Amino acid sequence: MINISLPDGSIRQFDQPVTVYDVAESIGSGLAKAAIAGKVSTISDQETTSTGTEGRLVDTSYLIEQDTALSIITAKDKEGLEIIRHSTAHLMAYAVQELYPDAQVTIGPVIENGFYYDFAYKRPFTPEDLEKIEQKMHELAKKDEVVTREVWDRPDAIKFFKEIGEDYKAEIIESIPENEQLTMYREGDFIDLCRGPHVPSTGKLKVFKLMKVAGAYWRGDSSNEMLQRIYGTAWATKQEQDQYLTMLEEAEKRDHRKLGRELDLFHFQEEAPGLIFWHPKGWQIWQQVEQYMRSVYVNNGYQEIKAPQILDISLWKKTGHWDNYQDNMFTTESENRVYGLKPMNCPGHVQIFNSGLHSYRELPIRYGEFGQCHRNEPSGSLHGLMRVRGFTQDDGHIFCTEDQLQEECAKFTELLQRVYKDFGFTEVLYKVATRPEKRIGSDEVWDKSEAALMESLEKSGCVYEVSPGEGAFYGPKIEYTLKDAIGRHWQCGTIQVDFSMPERLGAEYVAADDTRKTPVMLHRAILGSFERFIGMLIEDYAGAMPPWLAPEHVKVCTISGQFDDYALDVVKRLKEKGFRASADIRNEKINRKVRENAMQKLPYILVVGEKERQDGTVSVRARGNHNLGVMPVEDFIQRLADDIALKRDVTVAKAES
């Protein structure tokens, strides 16, 4: 008798081995029809895990031969959507080879919101090719061909793929460890190497779209040949796909690289790959962010410091960065010494802590730095402000006792929430990233660190997810992710527990019993990379920054040249109050002036003519072509001051007026 335990706690018994599909059908024909895969966990599986609940994904054809915990996976499950996307990648490769038999398939994984597959083909794929491939995919899906899993011997698999001209696939198989089982998935005339699982038949794949073609080096190595990567997206329902495509259209309008050019904020050029040339307007945004964060430091017990840009690699070796991170570090030499250009700020902060002897009464000590870092990111991964080689972090390190650990983590979460709210973000997602396979420190230390982070979030009332294996090599971390105006998620803040680096670098404090102890070090950042955060702000606000962040608050436009002196006087009064203002006194029609300045997404445009000059007033237009009427200059000054003090946007100010 085989016992199948289901998620609702019920148990179904079978007198012989059954497939996942058989179990689903025994529950109901509707579930059997919706089933995409199963998640199984046998007693032997549970003995190898800490909770016994992880399970492994299997096809619906998987044969259950012993007592097993089973969940039926459908398109509504996160795992189900990933399986749909992976299966759609195979469907795309199937369609490509139907249309272009000479094309070789290589690798095709699931990515966020979709999938891709790399192909070797004699000519570039065109947009017209993508349309044909997508049409063929729909034809193949309608055939509802069964997808079957097969186990092959290694020599047979290599021979098969070489004989059909799939040299890349044969090379992949040759690189797989000999003790690893080789599985193939077949649908119709197409067969591909894959671990699976996959949908039971192609008819399960109904909602997908091919997006674009890009170049990609074989195995990601620039010394290898260039392949063609076709990207696609796939969803459980058409409504979900439509929402995603609408979001992409909106995201394209908000692209910070496009807005950076249009609003004259920054630029990049080939002579400095991954590095930014900030223009006056863009640097003004930067300065507002930095001065705000400086006030956060001052008001929350942080001491601002500055550490060197380069440090001898002997220090990076002590911290463990050299062994774990050297491929991402820039180095330089002088007088027969090798230095590392810092990729992070923590070792320098420990040196400042070590420069004097500290008592337990001084702890916690909180250091903050706007630290400029450099990382040797691959050129193919660079992406505007979001992924650069030179960046500045609002980086801080807290040195505390073990007893202070949870309280400091909880305080940091509360501070971070307040900061994000000021920038306009109210929805924060929390993840605890636990120990990676490659790490330093004992399991006991990792147990203690992970528990402290989880308990601090629980005490703060935060619901969180666990990301197994995604912690830093020196310690676990909390990742704070923001949701922007069009529903995208951005991981920004972090706090990381580190018992190892302070010990490696000899950090000590004098405890209450006069013994020397090693402090716990918390690595923390709220915004993370300034560059990335500003790029995110530009996209979140679509370039229309709220007044407290805007590069320019006001443009004063004249109806004709005879009112230039009055406009310049208004600008002078605004500047005396600390506002960023200028006049547009060009010999142009007022409608053109207003239109062109509105395209710069200024919070306010003021129009002045004869009546305004006589009455000492201004005609006020808020961003979005909202006419707020005529008001005394002093009233407008107060309005703008309130906008900035309350960190509100002009649209909110209009609604409240």
Domain harbouring 6, CATH code: 3.10.20.30
Res 53: pLDDT: 46
> pLDDT digits over 222-266, tens only?
889 999 999 999 999 999 999 999 999 999 999 999 999 999 999
Instruction: Please determine, for residue 655, whether its predicted confidence score (pLDDT) is greater than 80.
Output: no
Please confirm, yes or no, whether 22 is among the known catalytic residues: no
**pTM (2 d.p.):** 0.81
3-state secondary structure (DSSP) of residue 267:
strand
Asked if 532 and 422 sit in the same domain, the reply is yes
Residues 405 and 495 occupy one common structural domain: yes
CA distance 208 to 98: 18
Contact 195, 183 (CB under 8 A): yes
Q: Are strands 390-400 and 365-374 parallel, antiparallel or unpaired?
A: antiparallel
Is beta strand 509-510 parallel, antiparallel or unpaired with respect to 516-517?
Answer: antiparallel
User: What is the per-residue pLDDT for 52?
Assistant: 39
Q: Kindly give the pairing relationship between strand 104-105 and strand 114-120.
A: antiparallel
- C-alpha to C-alpha distances, 545 to 177, 178, 601, 643, nearest whole angstrom: 54, 57, 8, 12
Q: Is 557 annotated as a binding residue?
A: no
- Residues 391 and 345: beta-carbon distance below 8 Å: no
In a domain, 329, yes or no: no
The 3-state DSSP class for residue 560 equals: coil
Nearest CA to 116 out of 231, 233, 218 is that of: 231
Q: Supply the CATH number for residue 441's domain.
A: 3.30.930.10
**Token pair listed for 159:** 């021979």
**Structural domain containing residue 41:** 2-74
CATH number at residue 236: 3.30.980.10
Q: Give the three-class secondary structure for 422.
A: helix
For residue 599, what is the domain's CATH number? 3.40.50.800
Collect all residues with Cβ–Cβ distance below 8 Å to 206 and sequence separation of at least 6.
141
Number of folded domains in the chain?
4
Report if residue 453 sits inside a domain.
yes
The answer to whether residues 54 and 83 belong to one domain is: no
What are the φ and ψ backbone dihedral angles of 240, each rounded to 5 degrees? -65, -40
Q: Label residue 187 exposed, middle or buried (CB < 10 Å: 0-12, 13-18, 19+).
A: buried
Tell me: do 178 and 283 sit in the same domain: no
- Tokens 């696609």 found at: 232
With left for phi above 0 and alpha for psi between -120 and 50, is residue 264 left, alpha or beta? left
Examine the fold and report which residue of 541, 569, 593 is the final residue of a domain before the chain moves on: 541
Same domain, 512 and 363: yes
Looking at 90, 229, 256, 346, which residue is catalytic? 346
Task: Give the pair of three-digit tokens for residue 559.
Answer: 């109806």
pLDDT over 90 at 319, yes or no: no
The two tokens of residue 546 are 């709220």
User: 346 labelled as ligand-binding?
Assistant: yes
Q: What is the CA radius of gyration of the chain?
A: 30
Q: Six-digit token pair at 650?
A: 């002009």
79-88, 376-385, 399-408, 587-596: which range is least confident on average? 376-385
Instruction: Determine if residue 462 is labeled as part of a ligand binding site.
Output: no
Q: pLDDT tens, 435-487?
A: 998 887 888 888 888 998 999 899 888 999 999 999 988 889 999 999 888 88
Looking at the domain assignment, is residue 487 inside a domain? Answer: yes
Say if residue 572 is in the same domain as residue 526. Answer: no
Look up 77 and say whether it is catalytic: no
Cα separation of 545 and 531, whole Å?
15
Q: Is 492 among the catalytic positions?
A: no
Catalytic one of 59, 129, 192, 395: 395
Q: What are phi and psi of 420, to 5 degrees?
A: -60, -40
User: What is residue 197's DSSP assignment?
Assistant: -
243: Cα within 13 Å, side-chain hemisphere: 10
Nearest to 115 by CA among 229, 247, 258, 206: 229
Burial of 572 (0-12, 13-18, 19+ CB in 10 A): exposed
Residue 337 belongs to a domain: no
Write down the mean pLDDT value for the chain.
92
What digits encode the pLDDT tens for the residues 484-522? 888 888 889 999 998 888 998 999 999 999 999 999 999
> Quick one: 236 and 302 in the same domain?
no
76 noted as active-site residue = no
Instruction: Among 48, 74, 100, identify where a domain stops.
Output: 74
Burial per residue of 284-299, b for 16 or more beta-carbon CB atoms within 10 angstroms, e otherwise: bbbebbbebbeebbee
Collapsing DSSP to helix, strand or coil, 559 comes out as coil
Candidate from 52-66, 97-111, 113-127, 279-293 with smallest mean pLDDT: 52-66
pLDDT for the residue 105: 94
User: Do residues 464 and 454 lie in contact, with contact meaning Cβ atoms separated by under 8 Å?
Assistant: yes
Q: Within a domain: residue 94?
A: yes
Say how far apart CA 141 and CA 493 lie, in whole Å.
Answer: 43
φ/ψ (deg, to 5) at 184: -120, 150
CA-nearest of 516, 548, 523, 508 to 643 is 548
Q: How far is CA 654 from CA 422, 621, 634, in A?
A: 19, 10, 17
What b/e readout covers 345-377, taking b as 16+ CB neighbours within 10 angstroms? bbbbbbebbeeeebebeebbbbbbbbbbbbbbb
pLDDT digits (tens, 9 = 90+) for 89-136: 999 999 999 999 999 999 999 998 999 999 999 999 999 999 999 999
374 assigned to active site: no
Do 197 and 281 belong to one domain?
A: no
HEC sequence for 24-37: HHHHCHHHHHHCCE
> What pLDDT score was predicted for residue 43?
58
Q: In angstroms, rounded to a whole number, what is the distance separating the alpha carbons of residues 92 and 97?
A: 9
Task: Tell me which of 256, 477, 553, 623 is the catalytic residue.
Answer: 477
Q: How many residues does the chain have?
A: 657
Region 168-173 average pLDDT: 94
> Do residue 422 and residue 439 come from a single domain?
yes
Q: In this structure, is residue 114 part of a structural domain?
A: yes
Conformational region of residue 136, where left means phi above 0, alpha means psi within -120 to 50, and beta covers everything else? alpha
* Residues contacting residue 530 through CB under 8 Å, at least 6 positions apart: 286, 289, 290, 370, 391, 392, 393, 394
Token digits of residue 105: 């398939």
* Residue 475 falls inside a structural domain: yes
Residue 310's Cα: distance from chain center in Å?
28
The rounded distance, in Å, linking the Cα atoms of 90 and 193 is 10
Cis upstream peptide for 197 (omega within 30°): yes
The string of DSSP codes covering 365-412 is EEEEEEEEEE----GGG-BTTTB-SEEEEEEEEEEE-GGGHHHHHHHH
Inside any domain, residue 210: yes
Q: pLDDT grade, residue 47 (50/70/90)? A: very low
- Residue 49 pLDDT class (50, 70, 90 cuts): very low
**Quick one: 359 and 416 in the same domain?**
yes
User: How far out from the chain centre does Cα 338 lie?
Assistant: 33
Is residue 375 among the annotated active site residues?
A: yes
Q: Are both 86 and 161 inside the same structural domain?
A: yes
The answer to whether the bond into 364 is cis (omega within 30° of 0) is yes
Task: Tell me the longest C-alpha to C-alpha distance in the chain.
Answer: 97
Of the residues 375, 435, 524, 601, which is catalytic?
A: 375
Would you state the pLDDT for residue 51?
36
361 in active site: no
CA 229 – CA 96 distance, rounded (Å): 12
- Check residue 381 and give its pLDDT: 84
CA–CA separation, 633 vs 620, rounded Å? 10
User: Rounded to 5 degrees, what are φ and ψ at 255?
Assistant: -50, 120
Of the candidates 66, 67, 69, the one whose C-alpha atom is nearest the C-alpha of residue 54 is 69
Of 511, 541, 571, the residue that ends a domain is 541
Q: Which of 40-49, 274-283, 520-529 has the lowest mean pLDDT?
A: 40-49
Same domain for 420 and 557: no
The pLDDT value recorded for residue 129 is 96
